[in-house]
Amino acid sequence: MKKLAVILCLSAFATGAFAQGLVNFLNSASTLISSDGAAIPAGQPGAYYFALLSAPRDSTDAHIFTSVGVGGTNQNVMGRINGGTGRVANGWAAGETRAFLIVGWSLAGNGSAFDPAWMGPGNVVTPMGSFLGCPNGWFGVSSIAPVGVAGGGPQALPNLNVFGGTQGLQTGFNLVPVPEPTSMALAGLGAAALLIFRRRK
């Protein structure tokens, strides 16, 4: 009986070890990340951070994507991410098919951890729609890769290439400056003043 219990425990442990899928979180020269149209600078690792988000297969609403705990920063090469290979994607089982995207932001007082609140509809307009964005600096969202299979597991699937390959993102994306709350308030006051001035005329 004890032997059976040990075997069952070991079996459950082995299954759990393969529960999370594996991804390669590195981009290439053809998928560079930009800030305001120019590749993010070299020689400043830690100035920008990136996170991998996923959602059910074929999802098209970027606001429902959640972090899988895989992230990286900028390399010593312009426009490149240093996120590593064979990274464990939490909540993305090996062999499971999911949609995914990348979110990027500048450190600038925002910290290195992704904040889900940044994905709420708001004032930063990207090709993926309108997002609240981080409080300071730059923010951007990639396009959606609608179908991606995480690697690893008993199937011995290869790691999913987040960029390139047949399932990954085929282009990079742009980070845009996020309006500061004071700037937005001033803009709002200016717009209100213009409306009042026009009505008085």
Q: In the predicted model, what is the mean pLDDT of residues 177-186?
A: 59
Identify the helix (H) or strand (E) that includes residue 193: helix 181-200
Model confidence band, residue 190 (pLDDT cutoffs 50, 70, 90): very low
Q: What's the distance, Cα to Cα, between the start and end of the chain in Å?
A: 92
Sign of dihedral through CA atoms 18, 19, 23, 25? negative
- Please name the residues in contact with 33: beta carbons below 8 A apart, sequence gap of 6 or more: 27, 39, 40, 48, 50, 74, 79, 80, 81, 104, 140, 172, 173, 174, 175
Whether the per-residue pLDDT at 197 is higher than 60: the answer is no
On the question of pLDDT at 194 being above 90, the answer is: no
Per-residue pLDDT, 44: 82
Whether the predicted pLDDT of 15 surpasses 90: no
Structure tokens at 144: 């959606």
3-state SS assignment for residue 64: helix
Domain ranges of the chain: 17-196
pLDDT band at residue 23 under the 50/70/90 scheme? very high
Q: Structure pTM? A: 0.81
Kindly tell me if the per-residue pLDDT of 7 is higher than 70.
Answer: no
- Residues 128, 141 contacting (CB under 8 angstroms): yes
